[in-house]
Amino acid sequence: MNTISIDFKSFVEWDNSPFILFNHLGKILYLNNAAELLFGHVTPKEIYDIALSYAPQNFGYKTTTLSLNYDAFSFYAITVGYENEEQIAIRLYNKPRIKQNIILQKEKLITTDINILLEANIALFKIKNKNHLELFTDQDIPAFKIDQNNFSKLLRKVLDTFRVSDSIFIELKLLIGEHIIIAGKKESIVQLKIEANERDHDVDEEIAALTNNTHIACSLKKHSIRLDIPLIH
Amino acid sequence: MEQFYTKSEQIQNIIKGLTLTKTLFVSSIIIGEAHTGKKTLVRTLFPETVAVSGNNQKEVEAALEEHNELIITDFEKLNNQNGLQFDNKRIIAIANHPGNRETIDKLFAFIYTLPPLRDRMEDARYMRSHFFQEACSVLMADEHSFSLENITMDLTHNNQSLKKSVYEQVIYRNMKSKEIEKVLYAYLLEHLDGNNAYKEYLALYEKPLIEAGLQKFGSQLQLSQVLGINRNTLRKKIYEYHIN
């Protein structure tokens, strides 16, 4: 079969694993859709440095097994290759994910203005803590369905982990261009991000447990916590 | 309608939290010492809501079946807290102490702690003035006859002890000698007994006499002159009654 006439580009474009082609200065020459999403969570410089570190000694391709994690993205291997001094490509292999079968219990969900829940939880936090707090929120986020009681418990625990910090930054926004499929329906995502100079990690497991069996994705980092909440109607 | 007064920032944040979640189906609990005003606060914000007491487990369980919005007082007295189901209900609970913290943490989304009155002196002074006016009106006393600032505050049991101490002081300061006689008469009528009663009950008169005298005149010398008794006699009585 003559493969020269076949344009493989679209296969790479729609590959579920990220693929990036850099020039010798680290500038992106090409990236596929998966890589575009990945760069929302890691800088191109970081990936370029990984490509250089794991590049084969001579022209060619080298696959290395390693574990890389960037928020919800997890990779188990990379292939780095170059055929000239000008360009270097890297492909990151998605770790296979077990499909979680979470049943959406709509009867437990109540249409809610998330800003009210957030504000009430901030008021609760302020009773015990004097930390400087900055809130950036989008008041236009439409009301959506959420388990009010459980989400409030989650917020309380999340905010509580920041009680040791001097200054807390809270941001609530609607993610543009990212969606989640729940019960066959494409839903938008609201992101709540809380950052500070310090954070307690004692209850991280409890926080993770509270997001289990919900469609809320939780990312717990050293100085920040991010909740991706589906905007269920 | 009940009203709740506070200048405390902490309590204002509790009010803010409760007001914001008024329309939401979340469970909240207010924990604080007895007589800090928890019930008044909740009643002010939720005047129409059905309230049940944790003293009666069955009543609480039945009310939870029937209502989506419920106030549960004396929550610490409920036996089977773990078995309660608060999903999709607006629950406002009140407790004098947290009991099992793990259970409280599991059941409630909003856990508020109401500070005692001794930690919020501005509120305490306001309540003193409130109880003072109330006492003057109830006891038909002239509120201009003495200064509010001279009324000492007993905050050991929050509003309860404060109210009691204010009422007592209003009564004491408005008593005429005839009324003091009546009080003594009633007291002695009930307690007089034994074979040394004269000496025993003389203390009712002598002890406050010397204490007030020392407070007012400072020195024993001056007091003995005012009382018209010998200085040694006075010193002996001070020793007898263990007066400092």
What is the residue extent of each domain of chain A?
Answer: 9-94, 106-231
CATH number of A9-94: 3.30.450.20
Which residue of chain A has the CA closest to B29? A124
What is the residue extent of each domain of chain B?
Answer: 9-115, 119-174, 177-240
- Would you place residue B53 in the very low, low, confident or very high pLDDT band (cuts 50, 70, 90)? very high
- Would you place residue B85 in the very low, low, confident or very high pLDDT band (cuts 50, 70, 90)? confident
In this prediction, residues B89-107 reach a mean pLDDT of 90
Q: What is the pLDDT of residue A45?
A: 94
The CATH fold of domain B177-240: Arc Repressor Mutant, subunit A (1.10.10)
Q: What is the pLDDT of residue A99?
A: 57
Nearest CB to A148; choose among B10, B16, B24 = B24
CATH architecture classification, A106-231: 2-Layer Sandwich (3.30)
Contact A124 B111 (CB under 8 A): yes
Classify B9-115 by CATH class. Answer: alpha beta
In this prediction, residues A89-111 reach a mean pLDDT of 77
How crowded is the C-beta side of B86, counted as CA atoms within 13 Å?
27
Nearest CB to B10; choose among A121, A127, A148 = A127
A residues 109-128 near B, CB within 8 Å? 110, 112, 116-117, 119-121, 123-124, 126-128
List Cα–Cα distances, A161 to A198, A205, B92, B114, in angstroms: 9, 12, 25, 22
Q: What is the pLDDT of residue B99?
A: 83
Q: Which residues contact A132 (CB under 8 A, 6 or more apart)?
A: A166, A167, A168
For B58, counting Cβ atoms within 10 Å of its Cβ (0-12 exposed, 13-18 middle, 19+ buried), the class is exposed
User: What whole-number percentage of chain A has pLDDT above 70?
Assistant: 95
Q: What is the pLDDT of residue A216?
A: 87
Contact B167, B136 (CB under 8 A): no
Contact A110 B27 (CB under 8 A): no
pLDDT of residue A71 exceeding 90, the answer is no
- Would you place residue A112 in the very low, low, confident or very high pLDDT band (cuts 50, 70, 90)? confident
CB neighbours of residue A43 within 10 Å: 10
CA angle in degrees (0–180, nearest 5) for B63-B43-B53: 35
Contact B17 A124 (CB under 8 A): yes
Contact A51, A80 (CB under 8 A): yes
pLDDT of residue B168 exceeding 90, the answer is yes
pLDDT of residue A1 exceeding 60, the answer is no
Instruction: State the complex-level ipTM.
Output: 0.71
- Would you place residue B10 in the very low, low, confident or very high pLDDT band (cuts 50, 70, 90)? confident
pLDDT of residue A77 exceeding 90, the answer is yes
Instruction: Tell me if A9-94 shares its fold with A106-231.
Output: no
For A168, counting Cβ atoms within 10 Å of its Cβ (0-12 exposed, 13-18 middle, 19+ buried), the class is buried
